[in-house]
Amino acid sequence: MDARRLPIRGTLVNTVAVAAGASLGLVAKNLLDPKLETVVIFGVGLCVMALGLKLFLKGQNVVLTVASVVVGGVLGVLLHIEQGFAAVAEQARQLFGGQGTFNEGLITASVLYCVGPMTLLGCLKDALEGDSELLVIKSWLDGITGIFLAAAFGPGVLVSALVVLVVQSAISLLARYLKPVADAPGVIDEATAVGGVIVLAIGLGLAGLKKFPVETFLPALVVAPAWLWIAAKSKRQTAGGTG
pLDDT digits (tens, 9 = 90+) for 129-139: 888 999 999 99
Rounded Cα gap, residues 50 and 74, in angstroms: 26
Of 110, 70, 107, 112, which Cα lies nearest the Cα of 213?
Answer: 107
Of the chain, the percentage scoring pLDDT greater than 70 comes to 95
Rounded Cα gap, residues 68 and 124, in angstroms: 23
| Sequence ranges of the domains in the chain | 7-230
Taking the model in full, what pTM does it have? 0.85
pLDDT at 208 (0 to 100): 85
Is residue 2 predicted with pLDDT exceeding 60? no
Longest distance between any two alpha carbons in the chain, whole Å: 70
pLDDT at 230 (0 to 100): 84
CA atoms within 13 A on the CB side of 96: 19
Is residue 21 predicted with pLDDT exceeding 80? yes
Strand, coil or helix: 60: coil
Is residue 241 predicted with pLDDT exceeding 70? no
Rounded Cα gap, residues 47 and 144, in angstroms: 12
Is residue 240 predicted with pLDDT exceeding 70? no
Of 64, 160, 180, which Cα lies nearest the Cα of 115?
Answer: 160
| N residues, the chain | 243
pLDDT at 3 (0 to 100): 46
pLDDT at 242 (0 to 100): 58
Neighbours of 46 (CB within 10 A): 14
CB contact at 8 A, 228 and 185? yes
Summarize pLDDT for 81-105 with one digit per residue, the tens. Answer: 999 988 988 888 888 777 778 888 8
Taking 3-state DSSP, the helix, strand and coil percentages for the chain, each rounded to the nearest 5, stand at 85, 0, 15
